[in-house]
Amino acid sequence: MNPILIALDVDTPDQAFTMADRLRGVVGGYKINTHLFTGAGPDVVREFVRRGDRVFLDLKFHDIPNTVAGAVAAAAALGVWMVNVHASGGPAMLEAARRGAEEGAKKAGVTRPLVTAVTVLTSLDAATLQALGIDESPIEHVVRLARLAQRAGLDGVVASPNEVRAIREACGDSFVIVTPGIRGGSARHGADDQQRTATPAGAIEAGSSYLVIGRPITAAPDPRAAAEAIAREIAEARHT
């Protein structure tokens, strides 16, 4: 599968569908986060699914286990391809997320979505973690949470490019690693609010399964050309 997942950080469904139509065929799927989902609701997800697109529903659920199980079950019933929760919710919550995905998909008669756990947001750095009372380095904390998610039966994690290699070594080849914070290379757009970033080729070479890319493609003068350039960079990285 094409590993490029487009972050649809837009205000309206029409904007999302317009961008998706421009990129369909050169990217692997679309990420819908709280911005678009809060404004448009589940109907925007249903329409993407109806069109045959892979949807990564990026709502980062983090609540008591029963609530998260219900939320993930509802997401699964929409037919999404991937959904995520926060790894810091703990083992019981992560296990409930997995159960919710299975139950929701079975009830709706659809394929169970991948369930991934957000480790440490790419906007955070070591100083921020220390302010939160976490003495581990970002990479140590991310690997700890990745192992926790794997033990809970989740399919993978969301983590910055800086931690991909360590996660791959700790969790094995089949563990899914979704990587935001893609900048540089053919994805030139500056770091913005991202603290821990890498090029598309660098992330793939480190072991990323999927790359979440937003502004370097969606804000480019020609988004399709930008996506094609990144796809070529990824293909070259895979063959070196």
Report the predicted TM-score, pTM, of the whole model to 2 decimal places: 0.92
Q: Which of 8-17, 81-90, 196-205 has the lowest mean pLDDT?
A: 196-205
Catalytic residue among 31, 60, 106, 107: 60
Distance CA 96, CA 86 (A): 12
In 3D space, the residue among 87, 203, 204, 195 whose CA is nearest the CA of residue 146 turns out to be 87
Distance CA 3, CA 157 (A): 15
According to DSSP, residue 193 is labeled T
Catalytic residue check, 60: yes
pLDDT confidence band for 191 (50 / 70 / 90): very low
Mean pLDDT throughout 10-20? 97
User: Which fold, 4-238?
Assistant: TIM Barrel (3.20.20)
Distance CA 159, CA 164 (A): 7
E strand or H helix that includes residue 61 = strand 55-61
Mean pLDDT throughout 181-193? 59
Mean pLDDT throughout 152-170? 96
Say if residue 239's pLDDT is above 80: no
> Tens of pLDDT along 124-144?
889 999 999 999 999 999 999
How do the domains of the chain map onto residue ranges?
A: 4-238
Residue whose pair of structure tokens reads 């976490």 in the numeric block: 134
Backbone phi, psi, residue 145, to 5°: -70, -35
Say if residue 205's pLDDT is above 80: yes
